[in-house]
Chains A and B, each alone.
Chain A
Amino acid sequence: MSPPDDRSAEGGGDLNRPGQTKGPVMEGYNFAYLDEATKRMLRRTILKAVAIPGHQIPFGAREMPLPYGWGTGGIQVTAAILGPSDTLKVIDQGADDTTNAVSIRRFFTRVAGVATTERTAEATIIQTRHRIPEQALREDQVIVYQVPQPEPLSRLEPRRAETKRLHSLADYGLMHVRLYEDIARYGHIAKAYDYPVMVNGRYLMAPSPIPAFDNPKMDRMPALQLFGAGREKRIYAVPPYTEVRSLDFEDHPFRPIRAPHACALCGSRESYLDEVITDDRGGRLFVCSDTDYCSGRVALREAAE
């Protein structure tokens, strides 16, 4: 990936926000931790995944220096596509400053010496756990999702050989049975995250546990979307401008769910909100889950005052 044009203007200034940082690179590691042969294998897998949108491609996942469930799949995909001139952003449930995001960002700073950022607009590669940034992504960006369970049918059909056959025959009635059951029981489709989508009208895909709120952002997104599942050893992809449709019924259309509040910090009524419990007497606060989006809006407001 090449850096965006506006990046060269950055570098110094703006002390209010944590901009790009470069740390010392650790000796003795190949660039971006993985050896070149592994990265080639990963890139071949990624190319295949891009060629068949939404189809899960198996790959030989390596042991990574973090436990399964912490983003071993995403980190390998990122390592395979990372170049020295890239700027990396890592988010965990929208936040740049939580453990998972901080440790993965520091990992790549140490083993690849790449620039990192917390600003969505400045990043060329965004590795994410369970969110898509609020700010629309561009063609020159890549978003890498960490995926715990790549098989959307796993809860419905435990046999891998059988789900593979269902995918090859595009036999997805089973998933609709699940949605039917939700409506029959709860009156609406109760799946709020990892909401199943059809990619390019062919493959049923698990969008990783992003909130259903983020599903519409995947549809015809200009950025390349890559999905890595380390424990399950699968990579899949959605190429830029590909149709991604959330499953639904004609009389129960898909609707993104959002807490009906404004962000307590920036006042946004459009962004996805986290509920924060503030005390043990029922006090609660709703704040943007995307910290970069929220702080950007707060900074704008302060500048205007």
Chain B
Amino acid sequence: MTRPMLEARGLTLHFGAIPALVDVTIDVAEGEVVAIVGESGSGKTTLLRVLSGLMPPDAGTVRWLGEDVHAMGEAARRRLLRTDWGFVHQNPRDGLRLNVSAGGNVGERLMAIGARHYGNIRGEALSWLAKVEIDATRIDDLPRTFSGGMQQRLQIARTLVTHPKLVFMDEPTGGLDVSVQARLLDLIRSLSRELGLSVLIVTHDIAAARLLADRILVMRRGRVVEQGLTDRVLDDPQHPYTQLLVSSVLAA
């Protein structure tokens, strides 16, 4: 197996007396989709924030292609966040500029890394809107006129336009209705396969994890209680908490 792109070792973080992360170790290889599941408050989002360099851990290291993410300067980390990495927020309003048109939103990351040709930026924006199934005539509309599902797809287009290698997703389907969720999951799956993306996705939706992920990590109270291939973990859960989690999924 090739060397993982993202390696995290012994991450520990406390919020006062509350342990948010306890000795978490995680690897993400190229083209791999890893899901982090667990109940709310189990430290999933905190783990994502630490891994993406937004929050420093008390102990432990995060390495991207061998380089320590938390030791690099802020300028380098920001460059990483808008080139090799992408971040899809749970709430599209956090990841989009609502007073900037859809095309401008998609183009922003391109312009941030130095694209200065209007025609090319617009062409790229149009092709990405097509990929996420947003009608080309909406390119100059403001995102606030979009539905929730469209906003989330726009956020994905905006994130993927610079061809990142790794995308962090924080419950991308949260707050959407079931049919929209299904389409969005389908979109994420096809795009990640097509582009060979690595994805680290946080979700509390076991079904979404089964659909998307190659590997799964189950977190509880800041600890990784179980990890392994998705089918193995979900079909043959070892840890009592995982068993509870899997058995509590509603069958439609």
Chain A residues near B (Cβ < 8 Å): 165, 169, 171, 173-174, 176-177, 180-181, 183-185, 248-252
The listed residue with most A CB atoms (<10 A of its CB), out of B75, B103, B104, B109, is B104
Q: How far is the CB of A159 from chain B (nearest CB, A)?
A: 14
**Could you tell me the dominant secondary structure of chain A's interface residues?**
helix
Whose C-beta in chain A lies nearest to the C-beta of B122? A184
Knowing A169-B75, A171-B112 touch, does A181 contact B118 (C-beta < 8 A)? no
Q: Are the CB atoms of B97 and A177 closer together than 8 Å?
A: yes
Assembly CA distance A184 to B107 (angstroms)? 12
Closest 8 CB pairs of A and B: A173-B112, A176-B111, A249-B118, A173-B111, A250-B117, A177-B108, A169-B75, A177-B104
**A185–B103 Cα gap in the complex (Å)?**
11
Verify A181–B101 contact, CB threshold 8 A. yes
Nearest-Cβ distance from residue A163 to partner chain B, whole angstroms: 15
Pairwise interchain contact A180-B107, C-beta atoms closer than 8 A: yes
B104 neighbours in A (Cβ, 8 Å): 177, 180-181, 184
B119 within 8 A of A: yes
Q: Looking at chain B's contact residues, is the secondary structure mostly helix, strand, loop, or mixed?
A: helix
For A177, list chain B residues within 8 Å (CB).
Answer: 97, 100, 104, 107-108, 111
Number of B residues, CB within 8 Å of A: 22
Chain B residues, CB < 8 A from A248 = 116
A171 CA to B113 CA, complexed, in Å: 9
Closest beta carbon of chain A to B82's beta carbon, Å: 8
The residue of chain B having its C-beta at the shortest distance from the C-beta of A185 within the complex is B140
CA distance A173 to B97 in the complex (A): 13
Docked Cα-Cα span, A176 to B107, in Å, equals 9
Q: Are B119 and A251 in contact (CB under 8 A)?
A: yes
Residues facing A in B86-143 (CB within 8 A) are 97, 100-101, 103-104, 107-109, 111-113, 116-119, 121-122, 139-140
A105 to B138, CA, bound (A): 54
Instruction: Give the residues in chain B near A173, CB-CB below 8 Å.
Output: 108-109, 111-113
Report Cα–Cα, A89/B248, bound state, in Å: 80
When distances are taken between beta carbons in the complex, the residues of chain A under 8 Å from B97 are 177
| B108–A169 touching, CB < 8 Å | no
Closest B residue to A175 using CB positions: B111
Interchain CA distance A180-B121 in the complex, whole Å: 9
A180 x B140 contact (CB < 8 A)? no
Q: A177-B100, A252-B118 are in contact. List 7 more A-B contacts (CB 8 A).
A: A169-B75, A173-B108, A176-B116, A180-B111, A184-B103, A248-B116, A249-B118
